[in-house]
Amino acid sequence: MADSVNQVRVTLAGDGFYPKVFRWAGRDLRVLFVEGLRTRGAERWFRVRTVEGVYELVHQTRTGVWLMRRSPSWFDRTMAQLAREPRYSLPASHRRAGSGAKTKESPSSQGGGHASRLALVR
């Protein structure tokens, strides 16, 4: 009966093999990508990444039951949340000018430091 707590409802991708979305702990989690797949007898172990972190799902092919074997710890969830934060959180008034700002070209890019014409010698 302990496994019933870890049961998940899985929606498969179009190929009918890989998980696309799974429902666990009362919420739906979308699979961003499958990091790994391994088999153990009649079980398929999927290591999947979501926005919250890495989960390990097990599909028991004989019974058709999906189980949660590993979910992200509080630290993994915190690190995933920090990774989603904007990298430059400065106010707009303190940000550097973007690529639209004009910069002075160096003399070499204007042709002043090098020969501007080439001759073909035969």
d(C-alpha 120, C-alpha 81), whole Å = 60
**Which residues lie closer than 8 Å to 17 by C-beta, 6 or more apart?**
none
| H or E, element range at 109 | helix 107-110
Residues shown for the chain: 122
Q: How many CB atoms lie within 10 A of CB 71?
A: 18
Tens-digit pLDDT profile for residues 27-75: 899 999 998 999 989 999 999 988 888 889 999 999 999 998 887 777 8
Tens-digit pLDDT profile for residues 87-101: 666 677 776 666 554
